[in-house]
Amino acid sequence: MAAALSGVSAFAQGFFTFTSGGGLIWDASSGVSSVKDNAVDWAVLINLGTAGNAAVNGINPLGGTQNGVGANPTNNFAGFSGNPWTAILGDTAYSFATNSNVGQLIQGTTTAAGGMGGLTTLISNQPVLGTSSAGGTINVVIVAWLASGGSTPWAAAAANAAVGWSKPFAYVYQSSSTAPTAWGTQVGGSGGTYPFGISPVPEPASFALAGLGAAAMLIFRRRK
């Protein structure tokens, strides 16, 4: 294990910072209303692929529709034909950000005010595996889930935990010699990201019913 980690840290990487002010991530896991609390875990998807992907075009790469700006943000899963966790973990353009020094997933827990905090790797400036040591710009998506549902995105997916995500936005990271502009500042100033909430994942039967409903509407329109 030690040899593997030393191999991971052998390559210089770009640096990110991952903290934000309150009100970014909301908890709607009860299915009733959204609240700001410290019951939500978060991680960050990064796009290491080529330009021209869905995020560049301003489309949520996970296939969902984000709504509820303001005091009660939630995620709407109506556009999915399957479990949103499958779309998140199976997205070929995005992967979860990993600290290159320790080979550990970069994640944290929300603050009581609904901000990004509680980093498991304990430092705010993180060397991210696969990024350039010279710095650059990369497309990112914040993914959040109910902390009690699992300690990692994969465990949360296995438990069908409540989940949500931000819109994709461009993040400017830096070399190791320059501290990145505050994450919260970049999130707030990106123009494409706003507060979002986690919501319960519909049961498979609900997805099936939604699909039947859409098919029925299509048939009805064709008959008209």
pLDDT at 108: 94
pLDDT at 206: 47
Q: What are the angstrom distances between the C-alpha of 46 and each of 149, 172, 204?
A: 23, 12, 28
pLDDT at 24: 85
Which positions ≥6 away from 152 have C-beta within 8 Å?
105, 107
pLDDT at 63: 46
Q: Which domain holds residue 217?
A: 2-223
Residue ranges in the chain modelled with pLDDT below 70: 1-12, 49-81, 122, 188-194, 204-224
pLDDT at 14: 92
Strand intervals (E) in 70-224: 74-76, 94-96, 98-99, 104-105, 107-110, 116-117, 125-128, 136-146, 163-165, 169-173, 196-198
Counting the structural domains of the chain, the total is 1
pLDDT at 94: 85
pLDDT at 42: 95
